[in-house]
Each structure stands twice: as C-alpha cells, then as structure tokens.
C-alpha cells in the first residue's frame, strides 16, 4: 500500500510540475536568455571569439552584452571602428537584437574615455558646475545629448547611468566622484536632463543604484562584499528616484543590504521589487548590479573555484525568483555559467517554483523596451 501511495504521489507531482510549465521548452529558454546581460572575454573577431559569441548570443540567446575596456588582449573598446565592427558581429548572431550596454558615468567610470582621449566629466564635476551657476540645466541637457549621440553612433543602446546616489562625506560613491550632489533636488534635476536627452536620442539610460548607496562608507566596496547600510535615510535617498520616475525605463539595484526592505540583500529581495513596482509602475526594467564580482557571487566567501561559480549561478537564480527582469552577470571567460543559470531557472519553472507568468511578464517588458528604443524594429 505504501509503495502504491508513493508511486501515485510521484505520478501526481510529475504531472503537476508539467502543468506549471505551459511555455514550450525552446520558447522558455529564449525568454530566460533574454533576462540575462553578460560580457564577452574575447575582443578580436577570430575563430575563438566567434565561438564564444555564437554560444552566448545564438546558443543561450542572451538579451544583451556589456562591453568593457579591460586593456591588453581582452580590450573590447580600442577604436570607434573596432567597436562598431564588434557590435555588428554580435548583433549578427542574435535572433532578437541585443542590448549593447556600457558604463559611461564620466570620470573614473567611463569605458569610452580612450576613444575620446579623455573621460567625460564626472558626476561631481557636473554637479559643481550647476551649483556654482557655471552651467544651467539646459547646458546639462546639451552635454547629455552629445554624449548619447556618441554612444548611439558606435552602436550602444544602453548606458548604466546616471547615478542617483547622494554625495556623503567619507562615502564610497563620493570618494570616486560619482555623485552629482548631496542635495536630492539637484541630483534629480540633473538626472532628468540626462534621462530626457538619452530618451530623445534613442539610447536607454538606466538609473542607479537603487535604493541609494550614498551613505555607504568608503571602507566598503560592494564589488567584494555585501555591505549593510545602517541608519538608511529613506526620504533623502529615495527622493531622486521618485522625482525622475516618469522618465525612467530601467533601474539598477545595488548589491547591498538595506534593513528598511528586510534582511535579504537588495538583488535577492522581493520586497524591493514590489516597492519599485508600486512606486514606478509595471513597465520599467528592474536590473541587478553585476553579480559575478559582487559579494553575492564569486567573492561572497571562502571556497573553492567550483563553489564560488555555483554561488554566481545561485545569485542570478534567486534574483529572478525575487522578480528581477534582468540579471547582469559577467563570466570571465566561463560562458557556461550563463547556460547553467538558464537551466536552473527553467527547472524551477517546470517544478512550479517560479511561475511561468513571471518569466512571460519580464520577457514582455524587455521586448517592449527594445521596441520602444528601436532596438527591435517595430
């Protein structure tokens, strides 16, 4: 009797799990792939690099690729002609056109500085010009238009900027001159000019780092730990994000813990996703900050290489489980990580852990934004 009962229960769970997965397998894989933005290791268009591109873009069908100026043989941004050629090659493998992303905040975080011979002004420099009356908001807008046009001319359609974090003395972001101001209103006013300029030029601007990490001490780098932001000032930190929400189409969340939202780290926290949906609406893309190099991924704690790589996969899976539309995951020449993420999420859908409606909703948001910014021809 017990054996019969166990057999019947096993059959029940098999058919129940299948009932949850109403999306055909191939389509489900494509949808999950679109929820991933990753990097590439090789920069030259040779046999080895093309195999990597094919695996990620054609095989895993990722939603986007982010380019870095790493230096040496892995430098992917060395000249305008090389960048255009590389982007065209990547797009040629895509059944759904890619987000081609870059970090151009200005100052220390400007992946295109070698193409121009100098970096764009840092956020701090722009903020100081506005506060001193040297620049008007119209000047900021014109500056942002030129920047967006340059990105678009190279083939980029997504910039992880502007930064909406507040400048705080002895803060991690302030120490790198990545904040416009300590005044939430000025941060919002400047950010609005960038968002307006980028949208008009057809380049998606992604505000960051929700929910605001200006208070983070310069002693803590979210790239190698998961800092706890104590005494989080909700009203001040959230003000710039709320003030610009009408122009926001993408929002990046920081690899930190903010007790206001609960004990979980922000990229794994359903409360954060629900808060953004309530405040911003259901159309914006919610994106994690990079997970591989974070304290949530490879640098999370001691362990062998295999265990660390598994934590990268787990972090991406948990972020999608929490409701994030896109996970940003570098591979450092281990592209199979992306396939593992897709397989883990796919398994969770088949088992009913992740509803297929969650995947469908995120996929539809991604496609809608790609159409809105003419990445996909309407």
pLDDT of residue 242: 97
Residues 307-355: tens digit of each pLDDT: 888 999 999 999 999 999 999 999 888 999 999 999 999 999 999 999 9
- Under the banding of pLDDT at 50, 70 and 90, the label for residue 225 is confident
> Residue 9, exposed/middle/buried by CB under 10 A (0-12, 13-18, 19+)?
exposed
Looking at the predicted structure, is the pLDDT value of residue 53 above 50? yes
Q: Set out the domains of the chain in order of their start, with CATH numbers.
A: 37-372 (3.20.20.300)
pLDDT of residue 300: 66
Could you tell me which residue, 1 or 270, shows the higher pLDDT?
270
Could you tell me which residue, 94 or 282, shows the higher pLDDT?
94
Looking at the predicted structure, is the pLDDT value of residue 71 above 90? no
pLDDT of residue 170: 84
pLDDT of residue 12: 40
pLDDT of residue 70: 67
- Under the banding of pLDDT at 50, 70 and 90, the label for residue 162 is very high
pLDDT of residue 74: 57
pLDDT of residue 10: 37
Cα 63 to Cα 94: distance, rounded to the nearest angstrom: 9
Question: Does the N-terminal peptide bond of residue 326 adopt cis geometry, omega within 30 degrees of 0?
Answer: no
Indicate the average pLDDT of the chain: 90
Portion of the chain with pLDDT greater than 70, in percent: 91
**Which of 281, 226, 273 has the alpha carbon at shortest distance from 249?**
281
> Residue 223, exposed/middle/buried by CB under 10 A (0-12, 13-18, 19+)?
middle
What helix, strand, coil percent values describe the chain, rounded to 5? 50, 10, 40
Looking at the predicted structure, is the pLDDT value of residue 1 above 50? no
- Under the banding of pLDDT at 50, 70 and 90, the label for residue 18 is very low
pLDDT of residue 224: 76
Looking at the predicted structure, is the pLDDT value of residue 3 above 90? no
Query: Measured in Å, how far apart are the chain's first and last C-alpha atoms?
Result: 60
- Token output for 190: 């400047």
pLDDT of residue 143: 98
287 with 366: CB under 8 angstroms? no
Distances, alpha carbon 43 to alpha carbons 37, 207, 298, in Å? 17, 27, 23
Looking at the predicted structure, is the pLDDT value of residue 153 above 70? yes
Residues 246-300: tens digit of each pLDDT: 999 999 999 999 999 999 999 999 999 999 999 998 899 999 999 987 778 777 6
pLDDT of residue 378: 64
**3-state SS, residue 255:** coil
Looking at the predicted structure, is the pLDDT value of residue 46 above 80? no
**3-state SS, residue 231:** coil
Dihedral over Cα of 302, 316, 198, 242: its sign: negative
Looking at the predicted structure, is the pLDDT value of residue 124 above 90? yes
Average pLDDT estimate for 144-170? 97
């Amino acid at each position: 009797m017990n054996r019969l009962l166990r057999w019947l229960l096993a059959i029940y769970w098999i058919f129940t799990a299948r009932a949850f997965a109403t999306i055909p397998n191939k389509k489900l894989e494509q949808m999950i792939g679109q929820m991933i933005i990753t990097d590439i290791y090789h920069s030259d268009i040779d046999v080895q690099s093309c195999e990597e591109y094919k695996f990620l873009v054609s095989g895993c069908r990722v939603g986007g690729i982010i380019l870095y100026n790493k230096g040496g043989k892995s430098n992917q941004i060395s000249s305008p002609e090389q960048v255009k050629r590389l982007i065209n090659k990547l797009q040629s493998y895509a059944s759904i056109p890619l987000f081609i992303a870059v970090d151009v905040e200005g100052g220390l975080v400007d992946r295109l500085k070698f193409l121009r011979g100098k970096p764009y002004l840092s956020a701090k420099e722009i903020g100081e010009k506005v506060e001193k009356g040297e620049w008007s908001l119209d000047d900021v807008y014109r500056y942002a238009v030129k920047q967006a046009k340059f990105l678009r001319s190279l083939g980029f359609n997504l910039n992880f900027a502007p930064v909406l974090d507040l400048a705080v003395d002895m803060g991690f972001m302030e120490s790198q001159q990545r904040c416009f101001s300590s005044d939430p209103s000025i941060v919002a006013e400047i950010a609005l000019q960038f968002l307006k300029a980028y949208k008009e030029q057809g380049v998606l601007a992604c505000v960051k780092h929700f929910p605001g990490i200006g208070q983070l001490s310069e002693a803590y780098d979210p790239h190698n730990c998961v800092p706890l932001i104590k005494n989080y000032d909700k009203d001040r930190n959230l003000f710039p994000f709320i003030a610009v929400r009408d122009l926001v189409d993408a929002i990046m969340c920081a690899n930190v813990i903010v007790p206001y939202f609960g004990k979980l780290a922000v990229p794994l926290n359903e409360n954060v996703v629900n808060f953004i949906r309530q405040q911003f609406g259901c159309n914006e893309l919610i994106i994690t900050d990079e997970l591989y190099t974070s304290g949530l991924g490879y640098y999370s704690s001691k362990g062998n290489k295999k265990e660390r790589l598994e934590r990268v996969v787990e972090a991406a899976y948990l972020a999608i489980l929490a409701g994030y539309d896109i996970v940003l995951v570098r591979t450092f020449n281990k592209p199979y990580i992306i396939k593992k993420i897709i397989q883990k999420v796919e398994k969770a859908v088949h088992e009913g852990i992740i509803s297929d409606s969650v995947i469908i909703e995120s996929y539809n948001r991604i496609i809608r934004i790609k159409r809105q910014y003419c990445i996909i021809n309407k």
